[in-house]
Structure 1
Amino acid sequence: MLFNSLDFAIFLPIVFILYWFVTNKNLKLQNLLVVAASYVFYGWWDWRFLALIIFSTLIDYYVGIGLSGIQTKSKRKILLWISLGVNLGFLGFFKYHNFFLDNFVAAFSFFGKNIDAQGMHIILPVGISFYTFQTMSYSIDVYRKKLEPTKDFIAFAAFVSFFPQLVAGPIERATNLLPQFLTKRSFSYDKAVDGMRQILWGLFKKMVIADNCAEFANEIFNNYENYSGSTLLLGAFFFAFQIYGDFSGYSDIAIGTSRLFGFNLMKNFSFPYFSRDIAEFWRRWHISLSTWFRDYLYIPLGGSKGNMQTKIRNILIVFLVSGFWHGANWTFIFWGFVNALYFIPLLLINKHRTNLSDISPGSIFARPKDIINIVFTFALTLFAWIFFRSPNLTVAFDFISNIFQKDLLTIPKMGTLTLVLILFFIVIEWFGRTDNYGIEKTFAKSNRMIRLVFYSLLISIIAILSPEKGSEFIYFQF
């Protein structure tokens, strides 16, 4: 079920009414409603894959129970590996089976050995990379004794399958979300209004910015041989805003929807295109995944401890794994590698934690130095996105080489309205850059009528300028 669909527009009010007016006096019944609604939400796409979520939920729930009663280190490790094995096994089979098979066959063919191996037609379950990482973090935290395992199965099932963030995050930690299912929630008008405001901004990002950019990005990337260098550069620019509007828009809708039900999810994007270096970009982009890899991969590898060679190794591993997490294609791995190459020079000169504060807080304009750094960082990110978007590495390198032709300085003749919309979007985000999302406090000190006019303007833009045929959220495929 898509957030920007009529189905969800009907589904959400029904669940909201049942949640606050029918089951609100019984916490367990309320959590049971969340589980049922979440399974309907996910099963709307393909009910058969509900079995994966249910099985993963059962495994991690009983692993947690088992870890609470066992102190022997070796036995605790066995239970942890059961959890990791099941979740990574699901992920490996559905997402990476054919990738490994194809590369295995290609490797033998390179040495003159032909192997006849047919790949399987495997449907990738929506959101499998997200909910498997969420359940694994629970088992790891219980194993590390950072979290007491819950004995409330309904609450745990609700934590695993919570429909707002089930298929594209944020990837929540049990330490944050699970306790919210174990305590009574009360309706907050202010929190609900704030949630609706964030949902509106998320829909604008997705339906206006991302979907309009997608039309041009898809046309240019799919026919890159026919376009000038300037148009190819514009295509990469459009994709940069497509993926940001698409993914951060989903996160905004997920977080806003959660607030309607009294839950607080972690912030997943913090205006990443205003970053002044690539390290800051990765502290602001897909925060739930970046911090997941930090806590469960980077730090266990040694983190920033040890000599410089060890630090570089750890950075390379994290970025390569992060790229591979996105998909079974060498383009994603190379995208991760490129970002590692961007990051390592900052590590070498100890500048990777320089820009930790908001840019120019309390000021309308940024310093010239910051503007230059923002533009440079965005250019690096834009270049890396070409690998992320391309179907294979050959196309990616061809696309890049075709950019740097003599017609790079010509003016592309497409997407004028979309560029105006992006400019409007950037201005709104700039003024809201120190908040949780772009319009959280826009016109907050103005009278109610001005705010209503602004929200009506956004709704009108969504209604009028959204493409007739929208696209699915990009991160559903991951």
Structure 2
Amino acid sequence: MLSRPQVSDLLQQEIPSNEVIEKAKTPNLWNWDALLNKPQNQQQRQAWLILSLVANLGILGFFKYYNFFTESAANLLSFLGLPISLTTLNIILPAGISFYTFQTLSYSLDIYLGKLKPVRNFWDFSLFVTFFPQLVAGPIVRASTFLPQLLTPKSLNEVDFQGCLMLFFVGYFKKACISDNLSPLIEQYFTNPENYTFLSCWIAVISFVIQIYCDFSGYSDMAIASAGLLGYKLPLNFNFPYLSGNITELWQRWHITLYSWLRDYVYFPLMKKRPKAERTELFGYKNLLILMLLSGLWHGAAWHFVIWGGLNGIALIVHKQWLSRIAPYKGLLPLRKLLGIPLTMYWFCASAIFFRSNDLSSAIQVEKSFLFLTSLGSENLNIQVAWTFAPLIMLHWAAYKGWFADWWRKIPSWSFAVCFGVLVSAIFRLTAINPQPFVYFQF
């Protein structure tokens, strides 16, 4: 695999400043978004921003959350002794709606905050919204990152073909050879967890943690590589999160574009709502918990996703408290580093059960089996799959250390073509017989 820091350098290019955007001579095909940028009328700017938020979040809320909130309201009223019949709809969720909704929101918010000038060309904006490589499963691309790239013509001479092809190869390997091969075993367990032993529980949970990373980061790798072949740079979305030494570091390296989006557009504005003197530690923790609850809800319209987000929010708060208390004891630093990665992964696996389970009740069952080593049933999964964990971990570590990085740059083009052809031929033998849809297509 490629070293992630090296991969992030593959598609580096200078992003023009907002001044360049402002000076660009492009036809003024639309003007409504410029109203967000008029400093002389704050009320009008706020009205246009609210309209943009209502339109974007309203569409997302209807398609993704209408049935969830309707069913939740009906269950709550029934619990309170006020049974009511509410109609749910058979809504088809558009693929990737959460991703491109956040992308378009970034455009309005950046203009309102003065970080971006309104784009003057409707087709440039349309390309930003519909740019296909990352459209359905990320990374989430902000307007301030993508739109400036449209100001400069693209040349084939500037494209790092070998780097992009290798990055695409790595993403395909993660998805088609690792994630898709683990998918049937995971589905087998989580469909009927009550039939299996605690050993099967551990195998299924660890397999899922591997699957979700390979599936999602694999898509991101292929999206970044595809955009790079077209001459565009997309932001890094994963940076070896499973080698994090604590839960805070993990969430700084997992789905980077989502959590940086929530940080900049949700957490920071919530913190600024109070004067500096009133921004207490407790206030910050409350906003951090809100951030992670929203993250859980973003991932899926079900309470087990919300609980997953809340558990990770609590873990982040506990870690910050732990750091403040352990800071004076510098002699414990080596022990913290030694235990940090396995403890972080243990927590991530335990919380991931709520993410993967089909409903809340089965999630609680699996959680008990995982934490207390209790067998719900007597059946066992294919335990031989556990033998693949060690080489995958070693491969991941080697990629993190950069052992495979840049070798393709040190050989002639014809040698690269031969090596790449051999790798592609070999990888087809490992590709899953039954391809699976990307997990994040449902979000």
Instruction: State the TM-score, normalizing by the size of structure 2.
Output: 0.84
Q: 1:414 and 2:382 equivalent? A: yes
What secondary structure, in the 3-state scheme, does the structure 1 residue paired with 2:236 have?
A: coil
Matches within 5 A, 1:331-410: 331-350=304-323, 370-403=337-370, 404-405=372-373
Deviation of 1:132 (Å): 0.7
Q: 1:178 and 2:147 equivalent? A: yes
State the partner residue of 1:113: 82
State the partner residue of 1:250: 219
The amino acid across from 2:106 in the alignment is S
Once residues 368 and 420 of structure 1 are traced to their aligned partners in structure 2, the CA distance between those partners, rounded to angstroms, is: 28
Gaps of 5+ in 2: 1-28, 328-333
- Judge which range, 257-266 or 304-313, deviates more: 304-313
Change (3 A) 1:62 1:246: farther
Per-residue CA deviations over 1:253-306 (Å, capped at 9, x if unaligned) read: 000000000011000000110000000000100000010000000000117961
Please tell me whether the aligned partners of residues 201 and 439 of structure 1 are also in contact (alpha carbons under 8 angstroms).
no
The amino acid across from 1:463 in the alignment is F
- Judge which range, 305-314 or 443-452, deviates more: 443-452
Once residues 407 and 387 of structure 1 are traced to their aligned partners in structure 2, the CA distance between those partners, rounded to angstroms, is: 18
Q: 1:464 and 2:432 equivalent? A: no
The amino acid across from 2:296 in the alignment is G
Q: 1:427 and 2:394 equivalent? A: yes
Deviation of 1:469 (Å): 1.1
Once residues 316 and 178 of structure 1 are traced to their aligned partners in structure 2, the CA distance between those partners, rounded to angstroms, is: 32
Deviation of 1:470 (Å): 1.0
Once residues 62 and 354 of structure 2 are traced to their aligned partners in structure 1, the CA distance between those partners, rounded to angstroms, is: 24
Deviation of 1:426 (Å): 2.9
What secondary structure, in the 3-state scheme, does the structure 2 residue paired with 1:301 have?
A: helix
State the partner residue of 1:9: none
Matches within 5 A, 1:25-424: 62-69=31-38, 71-188=40-157, 191-302=160-271, 306-350=279-323, 370-403=337-370, 404-405=372-373, 414=382, 416=384, 418-424=385-391
Change (3 A) 1:345 1:368: closer
Please tell me whether the aligned partners of residues 159 and 181 of structure 1 are also in contact (alpha carbons under 8 angstroms).
no
1:474 aligned to which of 427, 433, 439? 439
Once residues 423 and 450 of structure 1 are traced to their aligned partners in structure 2, the CA distance between those partners, rounded to angstroms, is: 31
What secondary structure, in the 3-state scheme, does the structure 1 residue paired with 2:400 have?
A: coil
Once residues 190 and 373 of structure 2 are traced to their aligned partners in structure 1, the CA distance between those partners, rounded to angstroms, is: 17
State the partner residue of 2:3: none
Per-residue CA deviations over 1:166-208 (Å, capped at 9, x if unaligned) read: 1111111111111111221111365122111111000000001
| Aligned CA-pair RMSD | 2.7
Matches within 5 A, 1:13-28: none
Change (3 A) 1:444 1:234: farther
Gaps of 5+ in 1: 1-57, 355-366
Q: How many residues align?
A: 402
Once residues 237 and 103 of structure 1 are traced to their aligned partners in structure 2, the CA distance between those partners, rounded to angstroms, is: 31
Deviation of 1:370 (Å): 3.2
Change (3 A) 1:394 1:457: farther
State the partner residue of 2:20: none
The amino acid across from 2:366 in the alignment is F
Once residues 378 and 161 of structure 1 are traced to their aligned partners in structure 2, the CA distance between those partners, rounded to angstroms, is: 36
Please tell me whether the aligned partners of residues 198 and 439 of structure 1 are also in contact (alpha carbons under 8 angstroms).
no
Please tell me whether the aligned partners of residues 227 and 234 of structure 2 are also in contact (alpha carbons under 8 angstroms).
yes
What secondary structure, in the 3-state scheme, does the structure 1 residue paired with 2:167 have?
A: helix
Percent sequence identity over aligned pairs: 39
Once residues 291 and 375 of structure 1 are traced to their aligned partners in structure 2, the CA distance between those partners, rounded to angstroms, is: 25
Once residues 395 and 173 of structure 1 are traced to their aligned partners in structure 2, the CA distance between those partners, rounded to angstroms, is: 37
Per-residue CA deviations over 1:17-52 (Å, capped at 9, x if unaligned) read: xxxxxxxxxxxxxxxxxxxxxxxxxxxxxxxxxxxx
Please tell me whether the aligned partners of residues 131 and 160 of structure 1 are also in contact (alpha carbons under 8 angstroms).
yes
Please tell me whether the aligned partners of residues 87 and 136 of structure 1 are also in contact (alpha carbons under 8 angstroms).
yes
Deviation of 1:371 (Å): 4.4
Once residues 59 and 433 of structure 2 are traced to their aligned partners in structure 1, the CA distance between those partners, rounded to angstroms, is: 36
Deviation of 1:430 (Å): 1.6
Please tell me whether the aligned partners of residues 189 and 381 of structure 2 are also in contact (alpha carbons under 8 angstroms).
no
What secondary structure, in the 3-state scheme, does the structure 1 residue paired with 2:429 have?
A: helix
Deviation of 1:399 (Å): 1.1
Change (3 A) 1:255 1:421: farther
Please tell me whether the aligned partners of residues 63 and 80 of structure 1 are also in contact (alpha carbons under 8 angstroms).
no
Please tell me whether the aligned partners of residues 63 and 83 of structure 1 are also in contact (alpha carbons under 8 angstroms).
no
Change (3 A) 1:406 1:109: closer
The amino acid across from 1:471 in the alignment is Q
- Judge which range, 439-448 or 151-160, deviates more: 439-448
Change (3 A) 1:433 1:442: farther
The amino acid across from 2:149 in the alignment is Q
